[in-house]
């Protein structure tokens, strides 16, 4: 997997150098173009984990951006309205992710989303304590984290 990723990055730099366009868009286009070329070259030579993980990472990042924008709008609305609609609280979110890197990724994505903050992980790494500005239904909040961030992180890191 590392060799394919490094090949993809190297080919991306070659693409950017050949086109002479050093914009972010050209880097992204080159990366995706080379990803598809590498995939076409290796079709039929066995399954490569790299070609399964990259789309899942992209889906995770797009989901994070969606949640980030949605949370920013909620917090901005809270700031500009005179009445407070917050129902803050701390929730214990049971964890299905096991590795330290997966737990850290989940906690960081939660903390980077406005209105939520990861506070602590239990000693046995089975519970994440999260403070949130809007908790009307604890079960719904827990399900949103588990079906959103945690499920996508598990897909990438499995």
65 and 23 share one domain: no
Q: What is residue 3's predicted lDDT score, i.e. its pLDDT?
A: 78
14 and 72 share one domain: no
Q: What is residue 46's predicted lDDT score, i.e. its pLDDT?
A: 62
Q: What is residue 150's predicted lDDT score, i.e. its pLDDT?
A: 95
94 and 76 share one domain: yes
Contact criterion met (CB below 8 Å) for 127 and 121:
yes
Domain that holds residue 132: 50-157
38 and 88 share one domain: no
Q: What is residue 109's predicted lDDT score, i.e. its pLDDT?
A: 95
153 and 102 share one domain: yes
24 and 56 share one domain: no
Q: Within the chain, which residues score under 70 in pLDDT?
A: 1-2, 44-47
76 and 148 share one domain: yes
38 and 76 share one domain: no
Q: What is residue 4's predicted lDDT score, i.e. its pLDDT?
A: 79
30 and 94 share one domain: no
57 and 84 share one domain: yes
20 and 57 share one domain: no
23 and 59 share one domain: no
Count of domains forming the chain: 2
Q: What is the 3-state secondary structure (H, E, C) of the chain?
A: CHHHHHHHHHHHHHHHHHHCCCCHHHHHHHHHHHHHHHHHHHCCCCCCCHHHHHHHHHHHHHHHHHHHHHHHHHHHHHHHCCCCCCECEEEEEECCCCCHHHHHHHHHHHHHCCCEEEEEECCCCCEEEEEECECCCHHHHHHHHHHHHHHHHHHHHC
């Amino acid at each position: 997997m590392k060799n394919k990723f490094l090949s993809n990055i190297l080919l991306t730099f070659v693409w950017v150098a050949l086109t002479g366009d050093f914009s972010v868009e050209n880097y992204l286009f080159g990366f995706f173009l080379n990803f598809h070329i590498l995939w076409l070259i290796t079709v039929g030579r066995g399954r490569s984990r790299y070609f399964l993980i990259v789309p899942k990472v992209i889906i995770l990042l797009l989901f994070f951006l969606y949640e980030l924008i949605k949370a920013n709008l909620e917090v901005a609305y809270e700031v500009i309205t005179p009445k407070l609609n917050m129902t803050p609280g701390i929730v214990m979110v049971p964890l299905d992710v096991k590795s330290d890197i997966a737990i850290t990724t989940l906690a960081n994505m939660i903390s980077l989303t406005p209105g939520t903050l990861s506070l602590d992980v239990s000693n046995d790494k089975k519970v994440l304590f999260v403070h949130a500005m809007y908790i009307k239904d604890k079960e719904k909040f827990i399900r949103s984290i588990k079906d959103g961030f945690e499920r996508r992180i598990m897909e990438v890191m499995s």
